[in-house]
Amino acid sequence: MSLKQITIYIEEFDHDFYNRILRDITNIESCNVHSFRSILDIKPGSIKESAVFLFWNDPKVLEKQKFIFEQFPESPYILLSIAPLTPIELARAAHPTYLHLAEKTYSVGILDLVLNFSERLIEDMNRSIAYDEIREKVIVLQNVFEESLDVLMQIDPGTKQIINANKQAVVVLEYPLEEIVA
With contact defined as beta carbons under 8 Å apart, do 68 and 77 qualify?
yes
pLDDT at 3: 60
Per DSSP, the chain holds a count of helices (H) and strands (E) of 6, 7
pLDDT at 45: 75
Q: Comparing 61-70, 103-112, 131-140, which segment has the lowest mean pLDDT?
A: 131-140
Report the chain's mean pLDDT, rounded to a whole number. Answer: 81
Instruction: Quick: pLDDT tens for 4-55.
Output: 678 888 999 989 999 999 999 888 766 788 888 988 888 877 776 788 899 9
Whether domain 3-132 has CATH 3.40.50.2300: yes
Instruction: Quick: pLDDT tens for 52-68.
Output: 899 999 888 889 888 88
- Is residue 1 over pLDDT 50? no
* Residue % of the chain over a pLDDT of 70: 87
Q: Where are the domains of the chain?
A: 3-132, 142-180
Q: Is 51 exposed, middle or buried (0-12, 13-18, 19+ CB in 10 A)?
A: buried
Residues 6+ apart with CB under 8 A from 139: none
